[in-house]
Structure 1
Amino acid sequence: MSTTSVKTKEAIQKSVKPQSQTQSRKVVFNISHNFKVLKIIGEGAYGIVALAVHLPTNTKVAIKKIEPFERPLFCLRTLREIKLLQKFNSHENLIKLYDVQRPTNFNSFNEIYLIQEYMPGDLHQIIQTHVLSDQHVQFFIYQILKALKLIHSANVIHRDLKPSNILVNENCDLKICDFGLARLDSVGMRTNKISSLTEYVATRWYRAPEIILNASHYSTAIDMWSVGCILFELLTYKAVFPGSDYMNQLTLIFELLGTPSEEDMEVIRSKRAKLFIKSLPVRSRINFHTFCSNHPCRRIRHQNRDLEVNPSAIDLLEKILVFDPSKRLTAKEALKHPYLSSYHDPLDEPSTSPIPMEEFAFDVEKKDLDVGDLKRLIYNQIVSNKNSNS
């Protein structure tokens, strides 16, 4: 991080004592008077994101207001996100958390404000509105994989990779955000102490088949499946598996990849899932290069010029978008693929130590924790991190 960035971060950290209320579109932000909210830029099930200016430094920031204390699930997501953003705060391809506004006291602690780096766009917007060169696609995929190499080395699965969770600025710098669904990889850690993972992760269109078919056991390979879906979308300007429900999702996958082989079927544990797959028409794998190069959305965007997709991109795609998760390239392996050789630099692609399971004990004990318990854990996480910074 540059000296200027460090000074900006320190200035923002000193400004987050709650002192005033700012109202934008009938949403009240109880934040320091050092911030001026400009507009709401995003709304979700349990959070609202506003564009704001940090007045002392004239720096644009994104402020995420979260009110999670109605449901334990929202509390869990919030605690995960705060812990992971603090853990991975120095990687250039992961969204930077400048600070979390410190609560005045526990009794008045009813809302949470994450002060984050502001990025003006996301990959979904880019795909919808721009003509992308092969170099654009290379650079975007490289940055995604570089970020995944780090979080996967920590045994963390993002679980919700999709274009709208990948932020982009005017220089095509890319940052992954939204760690609310992230979990430790119990398979990679060779432990059964992590609570069972749920099928209801990741937007369906980017969801790996093993999540749909096995539900409770999967690994960092699910993030790589999402990367394959995103790469397809960067090449064709259209989501490749826009399933209307989980059965339709699987049907679309098999129409493209072909019916799983007997060997691939061995990874499926559910007898019911196996019977469902065998009930579907037998499909042959389609030619990825022909599919992408002749895709009607690509034709329209490129105005029938420059249609052929780089064969090296297709080779990478074929090694990521694989039914058997054990046969998919890892992020570390994918970074070495020839398609990314223009950007690949092992010295600039860091790994990290696995996160100790104890740091996510709340995910193991979640059945025993109510909103009050989780609220205390979130409060302690915010306060302890403040103390460590002071």
Structure 2
Amino acid sequence: CGTLMFMAPEIIGDAAKVPHLAAMDMWAVAVILYVLMTGDGPVQEGEVKLFAGQETLAKAEEVLTKALSAGAVEKASPEVIDLLKRLLVIDPSKRITAEEALKHKFFTIESERTLQATPGGLKKQMSFSSRSRKALEKVQRSSRKVTDDGIADLDTGGLERIVSDDEGDHDAAP
């Protein structure tokens, strides 16, 4: 059962008797990533049957090669293209695992090029998130200290600075 576009090659055709494997989910992750990037699937419904038999696997490989060189994909970062190439692998034993994918440079790299390609609104949101994180760290440092005798006095210095900073921001409002 499932949508053909998201089905891993090993579940199509006679191979459908194989047990569900994590590698099948990684194929679906690749399809979702590809759809988010391009608005279309890497494999069209008419091409799915190519993945069903050994005699058509060469053509299936061609379909994937073509999908990975499509215009929208070529414009993407080298990191996401590399991740897709490691996810959209016909042989499930050679497909990247979830653990490996999470360690992939697409998820771990923090490059200026990536930030430059980020839309302005998202850059502002990222900046706000950074400020929010710093404020949260101040609150955590200023939180109550627990001792053996109970709760010690509240260190409010950091909180007072945060509140006064916030009040200063709102003074300009009508």
After TM superposition, the score normalised by the length of structure 2 is 0.52
Q: Secondary structure at the match of 2:36?
A: helix
Structure 1 residues 328, 283: closer, same or farther in 2, change over 3 A? closer
Kindly state the Cα deviation for residue 240 of structure 1 after the two structures are TM-superposed. 2.3
| One-letter amino acid of the counterpart of residue 217, structure 1 | V
Bigger CA radius of gyration: 2
Cross-structure match for 1:234: 36
Which residue, 224, 249, 258 being the options, matches 2:26?
224
Which whole-Å CA distance do the structure 2 matches of 1:311 and 1:233 have between them?
17
Cross-structure match for 1:274: 54
Kindly state the Cα deviation for residue 308 of structure 1 after the two structures are TM-superposed. 1.8
Alignment of 1:243 with 2:22, yes or no, is no
The answer to whether the 8 Å contact 1:288/1:314 transfers is: no
Alignment of 1:337 with 2:104, yes or no, is yes
Alignment of 1:212 with 2:12, yes or no, is yes
Alignment of 1:314 with 2:81, yes or no, is yes
The answer to whether the 8 Å contact 1:207/1:225 transfers is: yes
Which whole-Å CA distance do the structure 2 matches of 1:287 and 1:341 have between them?
27
| One-letter amino acid of the counterpart of residue 208, structure 1 | A
Which whole-Å CA distance do the structure 1 matches of 2:66 and 2:42 have between them?
14
- 1:309-335, Cα deviation, whole Å (9 max, x unpaired): 101000011111100001111111110
Greater helix content: 2
The answer to whether the 8 Å contact 1:243/1:249 transfers is: yes
Q: Secondary structure at the match of 1:215?
A: helix
Which whole-Å CA distance do the structure 2 matches of 1:204 and 1:282 have between them?
14
- 1:169-218, Cα deviation, whole Å (9 max, x unpaired): xxxxxxxxxxxxxxxxxxxxxxxxxxxxxxxx221110001101411114
The answer to whether the 8 Å contact 1:209/1:250 transfers is: no
| One-letter amino acid of the counterpart of residue 54, structure 2 | K
- 1:199-253, Cα deviation, whole Å (9 max, x unpaired): xx22111000110141111411100000111111111111222305xxx3133x6
How many residues in Structure 1 have an aligned counterpart in Structure 2? Answer: 107
After TM superposition, the score normalised by the length of structure 1 is 0.25
Greater strand content: 1
Which whole-Å CA distance do the structure 2 matches of 1:283 and 1:333 have between them?
22
Cross-structure match for 1:290: 69
Which whole-Å CA distance do the structure 2 matches of 1:333 and 1:283 have between them?
22
The answer to whether the 8 Å contact 2:23/2:95 transfers is: yes
Cross-structure match for 2:127: none
Cross-structure match for 1:375: none
Which whole-Å CA distance do the structure 1 matches of 2:38 and 2:60 have between them?
25
Kindly state the Cα deviation for residue 282 of structure 1 after the two structures are TM-superposed. 8.4
- 1:322-371, Cα deviation, whole Å (9 max, x unpaired): 0000111111111000100169xxxxxxxxxxxxxxxxxxxxxxxxxxxx
Unaligned runs of 5+ in 2: 111-174
| One-letter amino acid of the counterpart of residue 69, structure 2 | T
Kindly state the Cα deviation for residue 287 of structure 1 after the two structures are TM-superposed. 5.8
Which whole-Å CA distance do the structure 2 matches of 1:282 and 1:229 have between them?
15
| One-letter amino acid of the counterpart of residue 222, structure 1 | M
The answer to whether the 8 Å contact 2:68/2:85 transfers is: no
Structure 1 residues 339, 288: closer, same or farther in 2, change over 3 A? farther
The answer to whether the 8 Å contact 2:43/2:67 transfers is: no
Unaligned runs of 5+ in 1: 1-200, 254-267, 299-306, 344-390
Which whole-Å CA distance do the structure 1 matches of 2:8 and 2:80 have between them?
20
- 1:284-310, Cα deviation, whole Å (9 max, x unpaired): 46366531xx14xx8xxxxxxxx8210
